[in-house]
């Protein structure tokens, strides 16, 4: 089968791999219809992380069940599905407490197990997310990143009528704009340095667009909030710079939730650090997308709001490509060649 396999830093290859086969009673074999590039994929490609040399990459996908093990009753061949690619051990202290995203042995398919940049991928039945008929494959390929964002919002204390700032309008930020509305935000501020991404943020529901190259984001936020700031600031850029700047956005007693991952050290000016202390901010980290009972309400809620149209991913998808374009696409992404928001690959085509 066609696949994209990671061999080393910046060495991803389009090649033939053996198709996965049913081995266990709870196995589900899925024919991949669409699979997206995650920011963590880009980081792992650029400088590596947990991986096995030659491993099939990718974890954000949708598809159709091709075959199931003899113990599977929840889905059958032909069922349209997305997949939760995350595995927890079920044995560590966090798992025993039901805090699955804090599992000591958490891992995601595409690292130690073959992933979804391929014509077929295999997961246990409990990781399978059936889709309603009105959620198409392109939309369902973003179930996983949407669940990541939902997990972060569930950690906050946001109330209907809140004002929310989203720092960074990549895929996670654009989904955060929509989840903020679902959670009842009356005003959502989208912040980025790229006007193209800000325009997409407007299409998916942002009320106020802020280009932080024009004036520091916190100064613009204050102009819109009578000098107070927002109730909740979401860091979704994963930049060392924005990971400091985000602390200046909330009002006194407000919250910050980190959904982005800055793959570098953060050097913080005194001004930004003092905002945590002087404004008595509540600072939250958010990791992955699973909760108890596995895989968690993040997944069922995502599918529900996709089916109602309240999560609309179509404006986010900037590129729809054949899988064999993968090596070139990853090179372009890390070297800033072209303007990308969300990339989907289609393994069947080509």
Each domain of the chain, given as residue ranges in start order, spans 2-142+313-346, 147-285
Q: What is the pLDDT of residue 31?
A: 98
Between helix 143-155 and helix 297-308 the angle, nearest 10°, is 120
Assess contact for 117 and 57: CB atoms under 8 A. yes
Q: How confident is the model at residue 292 (pLDDT cuts 50, 70, 90)?
A: very high
pTM: 0.97
In terms of CATH architecture, what is 147-285?
Answer: 3-Layer(aba) Sandwich (3.40)
* The pLDDT of residue 42 is above 80: yes
Residue spans of beta strands (DSSP E) within 153-203: 163-167, 187-192
Question: What tens digit of pLDDT does each residue of 144-195 get?
Answer: 999 999 999 999 999 999 999 999 999 999 999 999 999 999 999 999 999 9
Tokens representing 5?
Answer: 């396999």
* The pLDDT of residue 113 is above 80: yes
CATH code, residues 2-142+313-346: 3.90.180.10
Tokens representing 84?
Answer: 């939760």
The rounded radius of gyration (Å) of the Cα atoms in the chain is 20
Q: How confident is the model at residue 350 (pLDDT cuts 50, 70, 90)?
A: low
Nearest CA among 268, 187, 273 for reference residue 230: 187
């Amino acid at each position: 089968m066609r696949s994209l396999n990671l061999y080393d830093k910046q060495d991803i290859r389009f090649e033939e791999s053996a198709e996965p086969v049913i081995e266990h009673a709870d196995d589900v074999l899925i024919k991949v219809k669409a699979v997206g590039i995650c920011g963590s994929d880009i980081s792992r490609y650029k400088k590596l992380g947990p991986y096995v040399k030659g491993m099939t990459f990718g974890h954000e996908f949708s598809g159709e069940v091709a075959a199931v093990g003899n113990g599977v009753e929840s889905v059958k061949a032909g069922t349209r599905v997305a997949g939760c690619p995350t595995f927890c051990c079920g044995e560590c202290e966090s798992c025993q407490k039901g805090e699955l995203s804090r599992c000591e042995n958490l891992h995601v398919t595409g690292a130690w197990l073959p992933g979804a940049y391929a014509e077929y991928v295999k997961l246990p039945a409990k990781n399978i997310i059936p889709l309603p008929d009105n959620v198409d494959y392109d939309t369902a390929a973003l179930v996983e990143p949407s669940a990541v964002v939902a997990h972060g919002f569930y950690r906050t204390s946001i109330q209907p009528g809140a004002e929310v700032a989203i720092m960074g309008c990549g895929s996670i930020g654009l989904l955060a704009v929509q989840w903020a509305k679902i959670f009842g935000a009356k005003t959502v501020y989208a912040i980025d340095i790229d006007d193209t991404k800000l325009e997409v943020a407007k299409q998916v529901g942002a009320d106020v667009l802020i280009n932080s190259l024009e004036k520091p984001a916190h100064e613009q936020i204050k102009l819109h909030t009578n000098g107070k700031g927002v109730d909740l600031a979401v860091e979704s850029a994963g930049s060392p710079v924005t990971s400091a700047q985000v602390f200046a956005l909330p009002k006194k007693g407000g919250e910050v939730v980190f959904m982005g991952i800055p793959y570098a050290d953060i050097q913080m000016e005194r001004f930004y650090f003092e905002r945590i202390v002087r404004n008595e901010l509540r600072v939250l980290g958010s990791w992955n997308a699973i909760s108890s009972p596995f895989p968690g309400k993040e997944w069922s809620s995502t599918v529900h709001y996709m089916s109602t149209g309240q999560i609309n991913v179509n404006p986010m998808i900037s590129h729809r490509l054949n899988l064999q374009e993968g090596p070139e696409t990853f090179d372009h992404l890390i070297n800033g060649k072209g303007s990308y928001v969300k990339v989907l690959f289609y393994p069947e085509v080509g």
